[in-house]
Structure 1
Amino acid sequence: MSATPRRHDIDALRVLAFGLLILYHLSMLYVADWGFHLKSSHTAEWLQYPMLFLNRWRMELLFLISGLAVHFLRGKTSLPRLAWKRTVRLMLPLLFGMAVVVPIQPYVQGLSNGLVQPGFGAFLLRYWTGGPWPAHAFDGWQFGVTWNHLWYLPYLWLYTLVLLMLLPALESPVGRRIRARIEGLRGRSLLIAPAIPLLAWGVLLADRYPMYHTLIGDWYSHALYGTMFFYGYLLGTGSRLWGELARLRRSTLGVALASFSVFIVLDKFGGALLGHESNALDLIVRAAQYLYMWTAIAAVLGWGHAWLNRPFRWLPYAREAVYPWYILHQSVMLALAWWLMPLGLGAVGEPLVILVGTVAGCAVSHEIIRRTSWLRPLFGLDARPRPARVALVLPRMADDLA
């Protein structure tokens, strides 16, 4: 396979998307009326709007980028070997994370709820043996253990295996013709057509199967995230689509902002205008929501391709740091929050200190992890760092994508 210039924009978008995830989870401590493992006394209702602006597309973007990884990894690798490689890379950090990294989260949540006794050592022994726990002690109490924010990994593993099973059909003559039709989407079709399946899942499944991130029976999540993962794989095959996304970046941004505005206004005030039981209102609100979801992602991809496709000096380090930081950040953040919230640091000082502490904790931990060969695979990294002299080519990007 000939060397292809590395897609720095996808690397950068992945780093920025996971960085945004840290800020989002920090904000969950402070947004009013939204449940989370721990809540500050300094909650604010206004945070709901920027949070809504992000949460309608942030995870969908991550699944799309992860779908790109399968395309880049495919190359000449056999499907069984690729399936095994992805299983190790996703499931080993998941199991280690659930056993070692995540437990501090249910512990502080249980303490906050008054349903877990102080003493982390005793809690950990009980956690490792599956409980049992008092009802609602922490999210996932009924299972004895929890994966909390690491739910992304088993979902990604499942979609990867399903896609690998479909690849022979997708790589057949009929599959190539279908992909060619998709790669031919231009202009208005590229803005609207990908949003239609997302809207269908919202209408058919969202109310019947609310998102719980339990993997089993989570049909709306699977339909939505699986579709975005598949979109990512298709984007990886179509270089012409990237040029069109870049060309349309102003249009997609405009449509995204307009559809988000329609969604917010109708969701908040539409019931007074059309009646809360109006089926027409519900359909319009959902259409605006899923059009916003897709066009926001299309705008991010288009602007990223136009602005970020160059070898930033910080990118190689950040690309390696993403996976360990993802695994660590919420546990570090919640431990710090539990310790700092009683100190009365104020509505500005408290989140600022927690953010700085979370970044510092992840950075120091990553420095230890990246220098320890046996720790590296437990956090999704190769057992040994790659030599600096290795050329940066497109297929290697996939090895860095969770």
Structure 2
Amino acid sequence: MEKVTERRHDIDALRVLAFALLILYHQGMAYVAEWGWHVKSVHQSEALQLAMLAVNQWRMPLLFLISGAATYFLFRKLGSGRFLMRRLRQLLIPLVFGMLVIVPPQAYYEALSNGVIEPGYLNFLWDYFSFRPWPADSFAGSHIGITWNHLWYLPYLLCYTLAVIPVAWLLQTVWGSLESWVSGIQAWQLLLLPLLPLTLYGLYLFPLFGGINHSVVGDWYTHAQFFTFFLIGYLLVSVEAPWGLLKRLRIYLLVAAPLSFGLYLLFNRVLEDGSFAGQTRINLIIIYANRWLWLLAVLAWGYHYLNRPFTWLPYATEAVYPWYILHQTITVTAIFELGSLPLGPVIEPLLVFTITVVGCLIIHELLVRRQPLLRVLFGLKPMKPSSARNTSPQAQSASPHLDSGSPPST
């Protein structure tokens, strides 16, 4: 079996859809009852919890798995040195720019909603950039004085980018044996083997370090989990065989994934703790099985339907990174500013969604993709002279280079 060398359209399309889901999920956090977030609407829904639970077990593992898959192609294309320099530019510059310019309004509105500060954004910025700790629970990250909020994905991805370079060289030394095994992988192996490390993390690392803390440092359970998904993505796209198997299993996965979520709800919402011996460990296995089966289902159906060169894909592939950087600040601002208006539980979220989408579209299309400096600050590839003369969406979509301004997972 030969290594895969061509770019996969389904991976690009799934990346776009995964970030679209992220934007919807973040808006949902403002409206779901009993879940904390930066700014909450007065219109909150308990029914929304079920939809949020259905995706929050696998949405971030999907992003890191896709990131690993895209890293495989980029690493093979550029080699370790150029790969590292591009990733540092794509990740560090947008992270610093985002923390200094894009994210502060989120902290401002969160501090306002918590009653910690008085209105006045410039006064807030003066205190914010003094880099001193704030009163407890002023805003997310206030204990260190500055925050990256939703941009936490970037430093985590940077860690895995650095870690994958020696791993990639190690894999090359054992590639023949590894390729032979992956090429002959059986259904039971694909379904069950990834559950072993994930369950071990839950048994031994989660009790020590807890869930994700968004601060990178000391977050060993999260690193173990997300880097495992990152490596799985890297390995899965290296050969063709697992994808043919996934395509054959797609109907079964479409049944198994919802059933696993039903078991998840049974153990976490219905059964009382200590109902029977071994309940905690069985629940742990169900949690990771639910996560993995949904990931496999998404990958299988994505490979079946999305592995084709859609005309919208190159443009969307470029747009998704600026949209990711911008969206949460627009959403938080819209929710806070509209909160004083009597819009109701239907009009308000629809208006917030519209403002978020239109805001991201206008800022990306009219500013970011057309200004050389903004392209760099938002992690896009520098504009070529030909691109500067023709920056229409149609011209961008016609480009054969799907990585010509790709999001952080490429």
Q: TM-score range by the shorter chain?
A: over 0.9
Distance 1:200 1:183, change over 3 A: farther
User: Who is 1:142 aligned against?
Assistant: 143
User: Contact 2:33/2:46 (CA < 8 Å) preserved in 1?
Assistant: yes
Distance 1:122 1:143, change over 3 A: same
Uncovered stretches (5+) of structure 1, i.e. residues with no partner: none
User: Contact 1:69/1:397 (CA < 8 Å) preserved in 2?
Assistant: no
Query: How many residues are treated as equivalent by the alignment?
Result: 396
User: Who is 2:180 aligned against?
Assistant: 180
**Aligned mates of 1:267, 1:94 — CA distance in 2:** 36
User: How far apart are residue 359 of structure 1 and its match?
Assistant: 0.3
User: How far apart are residue 332 of structure 1 and its match?
Assistant: 0.5
User: Who is 1:204 aligned against?
Assistant: 204
**Aligned mates of 2:136, 2:91 — CA distance in 1:** 30
User: Who is 2:96 aligned against?
Assistant: 95
**Aligned mates of 1:199, 1:179 — CA distance in 2:** 25
User: How far apart are residue 179 of structure 1 and its match?
Assistant: 4.3
User: How far apart are residue 330 of structure 1 and its match?
Assistant: 0.2
User: Contact 1:199/1:286 (CA < 8 Å) preserved in 2?
Assistant: yes
One-letter code aligned to 1:335: T
**Aligned mates of 1:59, 1:268 — CA distance in 2:** 22
User: Who is 1:165 aligned against?
Assistant: 166
String of CA shifts for 1:63-114, please: whole Å, max 9, x gaps: 0010012210122533122112111111110000000000001100000001
Q: Aligned match of 1:291 in 274, 289, 292?
A: 289
User: Who is 2:372 aligned against?
Assistant: 373
One-letter code aligned to 1:19: A
TM-score by length of 2: 0.92
322-331 or 62-71: which moved more? 62-71
Distance 1:161 1:208, change over 3 A: same
Distance 1:144 1:183, change over 3 A: farther
85-94 or 175-184: which moved more? 175-184
String of CA shifts for 1:246-268, please: whole Å, max 9, x gaps: 11111122221111111101212
**Aligned mates of 1:383, 1:235 — CA distance in 2:** 30
**Aligned mates of 1:113, 1:45 — CA distance in 2:** 22
Determine helix, strand or coil for the equivalent of 1:375.
helix
User: How far apart are residue 400 of structure 1 and its match?
Assistant: 4.5
Determine helix, strand or coil for the equivalent of 1:167.
helix
One-letter code aligned to 1:150: L
Distance 1:222 1:64, change over 3 A: same
Q: CA RMSD in A?
A: 2.1
| Structure 2 residue 26 is matched with structure 1 residue 29 | no
Q: Aligned match of 1:341 in 305, 327, 339?
A: 339
**Aligned mates of 1:391, 1:171 — CA distance in 2:** 32
User: Who is 1:52 aligned against?
Assistant: 53
**Aligned mates of 1:3, 1:196 — CA distance in 2:** 27
User: Who is 1:214 aligned against?
Assistant: 215
Q: Aligned match of 1:327 in 325, 328, 332?
A: 325
Structure 1 runs (4+) greater than 6 angstroms displaced: none
| Structure 2 residue 200 is matched with structure 1 residue 192 | no
Distance 1:257 1:114, change over 3 A: same
User: Contact 2:5/2:73 (CA < 8 Å) preserved in 1?
Assistant: no
Determine helix, strand or coil for the equivalent of 2:33.
coil
User: Who is 1:383 aligned against?
Assistant: 382
User: Who is 1:249 aligned against?
Assistant: 250
Distance 1:239 1:299, change over 3 A: same
Identity of paired residues, percent? 45
User: How far apart are residue 397 of structure 1 and its match?
Assistant: 8.1
User: Contact 2:90/2:408 (CA < 8 Å) preserved in 1?
Assistant: no
Determine helix, strand or coil for the equivalent of 2:38.
coil
72-81 or 106-115: which moved more? 72-81
Determine helix, strand or coil for the equivalent of 1:374.
helix
**Aligned mates of 2:358, 2:406 — CA distance in 1:** 26
One-letter code aligned to 1:371: R
**Aligned mates of 2:180, 2:232 — CA distance in 1:** 14
User: Contact 2:11/2:70 (CA < 8 Å) preserved in 1?
Assistant: no
**Aligned mates of 2:381, 2:128 — CA distance in 1:** 29
User: How far apart are residue 117 of structure 1 and its match?
Assistant: 2.2
One-letter code aligned to 1:377: V
User: How far apart are residue 188 of structure 1 and its match?
Assistant: 2.1
**Aligned mates of 1:155, 1:254 — CA distance in 2:** 33
231-240 or 126-135: which moved more? 126-135
Determine helix, strand or coil for the equivalent of 1:216.
coil
Uncovered stretches (5+) of structure 2, i.e. residues with no partner: 388-394
